[in-house]
Amino acid sequence: MDTITIDSDVLTTIRGVEVESTGRAPSGTIEECRAFCEQWLHEQTAIEVSAATLAESADANPEWTTLHCQQVAAVDAAMSAYYAAHKHAPDNLSAAPIF
């Protein structure tokens, strides 16, 4: 699998993470997820993501710049880390970067 490195230059353009729930979530879950993702992104110096995933994102959203696709991929990686660390978290959360 080919990967692309999202470096600190891209990560520093993410000012925050917006988290939403498509259904019910226990009290505090959205705030906890947002804080976790923002901290996780802050701690990273680089993130390896699938080149295919970035290409699919760009194809599905032709109005997005390469930077925006990388920001979304970085937040997706943070969400994956959140779910890995919180096995019982509701699966109806979604996140997006704040620029």
Task: Give the mean pLDDT of 77-92.
Answer: 96
Task: Give the mean pLDDT of 35-56.
Answer: 97
Q: 20, 5, 16, 21: which is closest to 73 by C-alpha?
A: 5
Q: What is the number of domains present in the chain?
A: 1
Dihedral sign, Cα of residue 32, residue 38, residue 39, residue 41: positive
Q: Which amino acid is at 84?
A: A
- pLDDT value, residue 39: 98
Res. 1: pLDDT tops 90: no
**Rounded to two decimals, what is the model's pTM?**
0.94
Domain that includes residue 35, residue range: 3-98
Q: Rounded CA gap, 65 and 91, in Å? A: 28
